[in-house]
Amino acid sequence: MKGKVLIVDDHIDIISFVKPALEAEGFEVEFVLSGKEALVKAKDGWSVIILDVQLPDLTGFDICQQIRQSVLCPIIFLTARGLEDEKVKGFLLGGDDYIVKPFSLKELILRIKVHLRKTPKGLAEEEHKKMIFGNLVIDLLAKKVIKDGNEIECTKKEFQIIELLCTHRKQVFSKEQIFEKIWGYMSESDVNTVTEHIRRIRAKLSSPSVNHSYIKTVWG
């Protein structure tokens, strides 16, 4: 098997002619017919996602924007229109390529293979060590926090807290749990140091261009 491909398109005729061609090339292929299904399936570890721009519920641009925070594989847009402003929008939202319908299967397969060559296995595994949240990138290998392309200076403990939280998204930790995991029971520090570290992290990650907090407090 050369890789896993997800096709997101509401036109069965497109799927019926793309899917067998990719399977003949050795790819494992699955498809979904709507944007909501795509949001669910997109995080299942694909090598490439082929994404139709016009879907009945969500646009391909909306889907790309939502999944790009956690999906790092190449995304190839399919569209019936080849407008320049649409292409620019797709690339700015995290798309990697743009194919206008009608297209040749040979061209699509070649483009998929080119993108897979750009991301060899070792690099792909390394890229998964980067957590992307909109304008924020957490590089777990390099131990760096990058916001809007600029590195943010963090202490060792601050980065350890960030790493803990971003690798356990949507999981709630008490101050005591964070203290135990980062400082350990034998530390002479007080559990309230967690609150101060979180306050400093929030300040460093805050941005006037982003109307939300990366770290949320669950009271009680």
Q: Tens of pLDDT along 78-99?
A: 988 767 777 888 888 888 888 9
Q: What pLDDT is recorded for position 172?
A: 92
Containing H/E element for 21?
helix 12-24
What does the block give as tokens for 121? 């296995």
Same fold, 3-127 and 130-205: no
CATH 1.10.10.10: does it fit domain 130-205? yes
pTM for the predicted model, two decimal places: 0.56
**Is residue 35 within a helix (H) or strand (E), and if so which, with residue range?**
helix 35-41
Q: For residue 180, is pLDDT > 80?
A: yes
Q: Band of the pLDDT at 125, cuts 50, 70, 90?
A: very low
The dihedral formed by the CA atoms of 127, 38, 66 and 122, expressed in degrees to the nearest 10 = 0
> Could you state, in order of their start, the residue ranges of all structural domains in the chain?
3-127, 130-205
| CATH architecture entry for 3-127 | 3-Layer(aba) Sandwich (3.40)
pLDDT band at 26 (very low <50, low <70, confident <90, very high): very high
- Per mean pLDDT, which range of 45-54, 81-90, 152-161, 189-198 is the poorest? 81-90
Q: Say yes or no to pLDDT of 161 above 90.
A: yes
Phi-psi region of 104 (alpha: psi -120 to 50; beta: other; left: phi over 0): beta
State yes or no: pLDDT of 167 exceeds 90.
no
Is pLDDT above 60 for 126?
Answer: no
